[in-house]
Structure formats: C-alpha cells, structure tokens
Chains A and B, each alone.
Chain A
Amino acid sequence: MDAYERRCRLLMRAYPPRFREYRGQEVLGTLLDLAAPGQTRPTFRDSLDIVRGGLLTRLRDRPPAGQWIGYRLFGRLVPDRYRMWVRDDLNSTLYFFHTPFLRFMLIIPLLTGINEFLGVEEFLRVHGAGLLNWPIPVAFGLAARSANATRRRARDWYGLGRIDAS
C-alpha cells in the first residue's frame, strides 16, 4: 500500500462503516484510477469531495430527527431499514459516551426536581444519611443501565449478531 492509497483510506473514514464494507473497495479503486503517476496524495479538491461525500452519506441514511431522538434518549427502536445504522451506532466506541451522557442530561433535571419537590435530601439527612448530590450518581447509573439495555434489545431485535453489510 503506497502513501496515496493510505491517505485515501484515511479520508474514506468519513464514510460510515456499513458503506465502507460494501462499497469501500470500489470507491478506493476509482480514487486509485484518478491518481496521476507519482502522485502521493489526493488533491485538496478530491480530499474535500470524499469527506463531503462521506458526511452526506452519514446524514442521508440516518433515521429522521424524531426517530433519532426516540432511539437515543428513550431507547425506542427505529424501522428495520435503519438496522445497519443501528449496528454501526452500537459498535461505535462513541456509543457509551453520547448515549448515557444524553440520557443523563435528561434524567438529572427530573431527579433534581424530585429532590427539591419531595425534600429527599432533607429526609435522608434527618435519618442520618447525608447523601449530598445523590441525584448525580443515581442519574449516571440509570443512564448507563438504560443505554446498555437499549443495546441488548436492539441487538436481539435486529438480529445484529447475524447480519452483515450486504
């Protein structure tokens, strides 16, 4: 693999994994065809074009905003045609950062509200358990748990152990 090809592969990471598995070799072949002899890197214009194409592909085959929010925040499953998007999402290392984080941001005001409204902290303090800021670890635990539950449920529902990109 020469420098040109290596740079092309790097740029192609703008495309989602499901696209790279199915079309990656073909796009790479075309990029190699486009190269002038001795060229060590794609031109700036070509590089921009690949990144743009990759980002547009990511935008195009993701679920619409309503379904995305339902999935990300509440673990509602999206229609079957987005199962490859779900697979890539679950396999992404980011999944355990953004999904629990967003759910945490949703749960924390609820728990804080409950805390204020019902006076939970005061109740705990009176009964000898001074758990200051208890909503934070509880919200974190709930968020991580629900993200994990969504992942398991989606894997079962879409049969993600079995399918590939074809």
Chain B
Amino acid sequence: MALREQSYLVLLALSDGPLHGYGVIKAVQELSEGRIRLGAGTLYGALDRLAGEGMVAVVKEEVVDGRHRRYYDLTGHGRNLLAEETVRLARLAATAQRRLRLQPGTGV
C-alpha cells in the first residue's frame, strides 16, 4: 500500500522516538527541507487516520507550561509499513535515475 507523502513524513518523523504534535511539525519541516510545514488541522487529521489504521499510538501525556501534550510513537505495524514504503521509494528513485541515465550522487 502506497502512503501519502504527508503520512510517510509523519511516520518518518516518529521513527526516531515519540514526539508531540509540535515536535512532529518541526521534524516534518526538517525532513522535507522546509518544503512542508503541516498545519495543526492537517497534522491531527493525519495522526487520527494513522492511529485508526494502527500505525501510531499515544504513549505519553503531559502538561508543560499549561499546554497539554500527547506523545505519539510508531507501532510495530507502522514501523514495518514505513520500512516497506522506504524500500519501494528507493527502488522507484533508482529506476528513475536509470531512466534519466544519471549516476546516483551526481546531485542533478
């Protein structure tokens, strides 16, 4: 099953360990080199969907400076799916590079 880029980036953001909502937004921004800055509505829509599909789960809740935070983490299923999708994307990128007759690492 192919993941949407947004869902893929959210899962990838969580692969390093649990993060709260704002942490995910920052991590996704970093991973996408500033290209994608999720809004709160989009983020929680994606997290709800991923939680509904059993890919992420809430692991911790806390209140910091009066702000409620829930931490999300990948489930085993989420991690497997992320790994599969990464292999698929790598294969696709390799194929694309072959087609474009580029050598990997040329930076073009």
Contacts and interface: CB of A to CB of B under 8 A. Distances in A.
B68 A29 contact: yes
Nearest to B41: A53
A92 interface: no
A54 interface: yes
Q: Is the interface of A mostly helix, strand, loop or mixed?
A: helix
B79 interface: no
A51 B44 CA distance: 12
Contacts of A80: none
B45 interface: yes
**Residue with the highest number of chain B CB atoms closer than 10 Å, among A32, A34, A48:** A34
A53 B68 contact: no
B39 A45 contact: yes
Contacts of B82: none
B44 A27 contact: yes
Contacts of A27: 21, 40, 44
A32 B67 contact: yes
Nearest to A31: B40
Interface residues of B, number: 16
Instruction: Specify which of B40, B43, B45, B68 lies most central, judged by the most chain A CB atoms within 10 Å of its CB.
Output: B40
A54 B41 contact: yes
A49 B43 CA distance: 9
A84 to B, nearest CB: 14
A2 interface: no
A23 B41 CA distance: 12
A52 B38 CA distance: 13
Nearest to B38: A49
Interface in A27-71: 27-34, 45-46, 48-54, 56-57, 60
A26 interface: yes
Nearest to A25: B68
A25 B44 CA distance: 12
A23 B39 CA distance: 16
Interface of B: 20-22, 25, 39-45, 48, 67-70
18 contacts: A26-B21, A26-B68, A26-B70, A27-B21, A27-B40, A29-B20, A29-B22, A33-B22, A34-B22, A49-B39, A49-B41, A49-B42, A52-B41, A53-B40, A53-B42, A53-B44, A54-B41, A56-B45
Give the 9 A-B residue pairs with the shortest CB-CB distance, closest first.
A53-B41, A49-B39, A29-B67, A33-B22, A30-B21, A25-B68, A49-B41, A50-B41, A29-B68
